[in-house]
Structures are given as structure tokens and as C-alpha cells.
Amino acid sequence: MITVLIADDEREIADLLALHLKKEGYHCIIVADGMEAVRAIQSKSIDLAILDIMMPVMDGYEAARLIRETHHLPIIFLSAKSTDLDKITGLVRGADDYITKPFNPMEVVARVNAQLRRALQFNPAAPPPPAAVLDTGVLVMNAEQRTVSVYGQPVDLTPKEFDILFLLASHPKKVFRSEDLFETVWKENYYEGSNTVMVHIRSLRKKLGEDTMKEKLIKTVWGVGYTFNG
């Protein structure tokens, strides 16, 4: 079972979050300050932490700093501070997301789902094995040498194009949303309206020679994302 830590000295807020998260099937642990949050993560199996910034004993910033020294779980800051500078500061200080009070509990649930999906399914912190070689019969990729060939012909790709193709080819038939590709390859938060992934996919298709292929290596699943079809 996935466990979410909620650290907030306002018990009513913590209980409200726990109520909605439990409806999603998550197990919740509630603590009242940053020090308790750090101790809980050191002693229990926690998959995601929601930290209020202004807490007694130890604030959310310091708690996040200590957590980041030994753990790589997603952290969401919760705060009444709502200016752009506050949000930027929160992200710089170690948060993966920042939610302002007052909040819609269902939005928090959606943000939790998104962070856990990235952490548990794609795990961008874990790169492919250095000597990994993918051979689909049509496409051959060597992760250590960063080389690519199609039907035995070498293909020159940029680093990002290589990473996108390697991710897709490592999970054949799995559909990746543009957001997931962007956040896994670029290791940055996806912003609405970005066409960065689409531009790189278009370039990849051209370099792979898909215009001459009957079966495309990269298939578009309309309204969802992209999948490897090789």
C-alpha cells in the first residue's frame, strides 16, 4: 500500500487531506511538525510527503532539506504563502510541487496522484544500465556508447532525442503522455502549452526515416501520447 505523510500543525487540515487521500486507497500518517516528519520518513516506508511550511519545532523548508539528504521521495509543500516568489522559493528549497491554502482537496489528490505516477512508474532518478543495449530487429540502441542504428544504418540523434527514443523503446507498446516524456527526459515540471516534446518527436521521425516505412517506429495515440511500435 502506498503511504503518504502529512505534516501540518493544523489538525483539521491534516485530517481533511487524509480523508480524501484514504478514499483514493492511500495509507496516511499524520504528524504535527517538521522534526516528526523527518523521524517518520527515517523509520517508516513513506512514498510521498506533504509538508506545511510554517510548523513549530522545525519548518517545512528545513524538514525537506534533511529528507533530501537521504531520501528521494516526492515532496509537496503546503502553505498560506501564495506569491510567485513564495512558490519559486518552495520549489528551489526542495519541493516537487507547491499548493497554496485555502485549497481544493480534490486538487491535492490529483497533484499527489501525478507525483506518485512519475516517481513510481518512470523513476527518472534511475538511469538505464550503462551497458544497456536495445535490439528490436529494426532499431539498435547502445546506451553506453549513445549510438543508434535503423536497419543497420547509423542515425545521428541529439541527447534529448536519444533519451526520448530510448525511453519509448524500453517500454514497447506502453503509451507515454507528452507530460511524462518531458518530465522524465528534461527532469523539469511540464508546463501547459509546451510543444517541446512534439517538436522532438517530429525530428526523431524524420531522422529515423519513418516517411519511407510502412510501420512507424513511433506511433501517435491521439489524445493520449506516444508509444514505440518497433
Which pLDDT belongs to residue 125? 46
pLDDT higher than 70, residue 223: yes
Beta bridge partner(s), residue 142: 133, 147
Which pLDDT belongs to residue 127? 46
Which pLDDT belongs to residue 21? 94
Cell of 117: 505516477
pLDDT higher than 70, residue 192: no
Q: Which CATH number is correct for 3-122, 3.40.50.450, 3.40.50.2300, 3.30.530.20, 3.30.70.20? A: 3.40.50.2300
Contact 4, 28 (CB under 8 A): yes
Query: Are β-strands 97-100 and 3-7 bridged in parallel, bridged antiparallel, or unpaired?
Result: unpaired
CA nearest 41: which of 66, 10, 15? 66
CA nearest 151: which of 137, 133, 167, 132? 137
**Segment among 30-44, 74-88, 188-202, 210-224 with least mean pLDDT:** 188-202
The DSSP 8-state label assigned to residue 120 in this structure reads I
- Contacts made by residues 106-110, CB under 8 angstroms, sequence distance 24+: 106/20, 108/17, 108/20, 108/21, 108/50, 108/76, 108/78, 109/20, 109/21, 109/24
For residue range 10-58, list pLDDT tens digits in order. 999 999 999 999 998 899 999 999 999 999 998 888 999 999 999 999 9
Contact 95, 76 (CB under 8 A): yes
CA nearest 166: which of 185, 179, 191, 151? 185
Percent of the chain with pLDDT over 90: 54
Instruction: Name the pLDDT band for 112 (thresholds 50, 70, 90).
Output: very high
pLDDT higher than 50, residue 131: no
Instruction: Name the pLDDT band for 100 (thresholds 50, 70, 90).
Output: very high
Which pLDDT belongs to residue 133? 84
Query: Would you call 92 exposed, middle or buried from its count of C-beta atoms within 10 A (0-12, 13-18, 19+)?
Result: exposed
Which pLDDT belongs to residue 130? 42
**What's the rounded Cα separation, in Å, for the pair 72 and 120?**
11
pLDDT higher than 60, residue 124: no
Q: Does domain 133-228 have CATH number 2.30.30.100?
A: no
pTM reported for the whole predicted model:
0.54
- Mean pLDDT across 126-139: 68
The domain segmentation of the chain, as residue ranges, is 3-122, 133-228
